Structure 1
């Protein structure tokens, strides 16, 4: 009997020691122990960072074909490139979405979650995301590899799952539906129209502003790093389950939930967190703010407009400064 009680106590303590990570194990957000076990059983480990970052150090055996945001998305539309192109990239890299996959980048980086969403969107069912990424791996003192790892080419066919996303047309019908809750995962300045990143600034009427950084233990970590107020990105670790439930307390887990941001990347992180909290029906507004703002008939709260003249003036001023610096550098060389 004492042996059984001791075993139960050990299990409970281990769950407590994982803090917010243990609750996520039943979902798609996984911790270091899961990644180590997945690596041992031969799961595909996908590093979604830029190739130069990957070669500076990555989880042993992880594959990489460049920055996911650059390789798989059109730079103008900020949407997926053609399906055939993505299919060819995955097949060449050996990224079999129908197998177990662990996606990671840097700690808290929403592109890791966008990688997870990409696999699910194209038909995968066994993908997980490692929130702490390469930073969590390195912090644990685990081996780092600096040479490329490759898998043999494959021949699979991707099948988009349109039920996971909301289109522009659908969003225009859903946004004022009382049975649907809309979450804006952008910064508060974007939400209020003070930071304009499309033709118009503002937000979808009725949307609830919860910036995706609020999922982190310290949402201000990015700013603190830029100001050199902290030395690591440890503050980007995920909050505990209780803290996240408190963050989203205004939402109803049983309602249909649509999450959007600028183009769907930050929304992917928030959507995954909500799914792991038990929200029943979570979708991503695929075109997000770029799609909504560009359709001028779509209503906007706190509406502002992009001042093209002011933007051109700023670009011209920057170019003049660049020219002055180049002239000064040439003068120094002479």
Structure 2
């Protein structure tokens, strides 16, 4: 398979819908924030997928099937065996290429970012899949352009997969501890400025994951604008390593993807993120005094 871009347009995908080697994946998860505050309620996007999706798309359940059910933390990576088994059962393997989308499904928030799609893409690359792309603007942009939806739920023959895990793409709590005092590593918090000010890991800098795309059209800003978001953080320095983190390791994958797309290849995601860090009393946190 030839390499495909990290991010593809709706036109790019529309021209390839009939390609037998293409696998389109809906990775939607809904996060609903309680009115009184507190952690979000997380719901599968399977029902929404069944009501209408891009023709040929299959659904991948990040919450129920592609996260570690035995972990004390939500959404952490499952075993390699379980992950690869599920994807090959879906028909994704060595002889296919994958385009992933979601519905920008942060209910109650106006954020344009395909962070659930980027989460699945990051997990796939971590396990050694190469030909994986994100659909720019997700399902919302596809629909806004008047493109076709389908309710058919296709299935594909089981695939085989021979890729190797890329351990350098995942950062652990101990990696982050070391990074706090390492001038050659940039810790990049991907949450909103308000959340960053409230609590963050020492020495980290902040680039909000929702700052890179138009809230109305869901299209990414041009490359110069996206690059400007990261200027001054050190994250674009090719001689440095970047570790992105957020609340639970989801939004961090969106910033990681965009950095990769800008040419910064030395990027890891702290999978446990603040869920893990804040639950350990030995881990220092910078908190707002307000």
* TM norm structure 2: 0.81
Q: In structure 2, how many angstroms separate the alpha carbons of the residues matched to 1:70 and 1:237?
A: 29
Q: Secondary structure at the match of 1:70?
A: coil
C-alpha displacement at 1:101, in angstroms?
0.7
1:87 and 1:157 in contact (8 A); partners too: no
1:96 matched to 2:93:
yes
Q: In structure 1, how many angstroms separate the alpha carbons of the residues matched to 2:259 and 2:161?
A: 30
2:27 and 2:101 in contact (8 A); partners too: yes
Q: Superposition pairs for residues 215-294 of structure 1, below 5 Å? A: 215-218=212-215, 234-252=216-234, 253=236, 254=238, 255-294=240-279
Which residue of 67, 71, 74 maps to 2:65?
71
Q: Secondary structure at the match of 2:17?
A: helix
| Distance change in 2, residues 1:59/1:265 (3 Å) | same
Q: Secondary structure at the match of 1:86?
A: helix
- Number of the residue aligned with 2:6: 28
C-alpha displacement at 1:301, in angstroms?
1.0
- Number of the residue aligned with 1:56: 51
- Number of the residue aligned with 2:207: 210
Q: Which has the higher helix share?
A: 1
C-alpha displacement at 1:204, in angstroms?
0.7
1:165 and 1:284 in contact (8 A); partners too: yes
1:217 and 1:238 in contact (8 A); partners too: yes
1:87 matched to 2:84:
yes
Cα RMSD, aligned residues only: 2.2
Structure having greater relative contact order (Cα 8 Å, sep ≥ 6): 2
- Paired positions, count: 256
- Number of the residue aligned with 1:16: none
User: What stretches of structure 2 of length at least 5 have no aligned partner?
Assistant: 29-44, 105-112
Q: In structure 1, how many angstroms separate the alpha carbons of the residues matched to 2:205 and 2:143?
A: 36
C-alpha displacement at 1:99, in angstroms?
2.6
Q: Superposition pairs for residues 111-122 of structure 1, below 5 Å? A: 111-122=116-127
1:257 and 1:281 in contact (8 A); partners too: yes
Q: Secondary structure at the match of 2:99?
A: strand
Q: Which has the higher strand share?
A: 2
* The structure with more radius of gyration: 1
Deviations 1:243-266 (A, max 9, x none): 112211113322211110112110
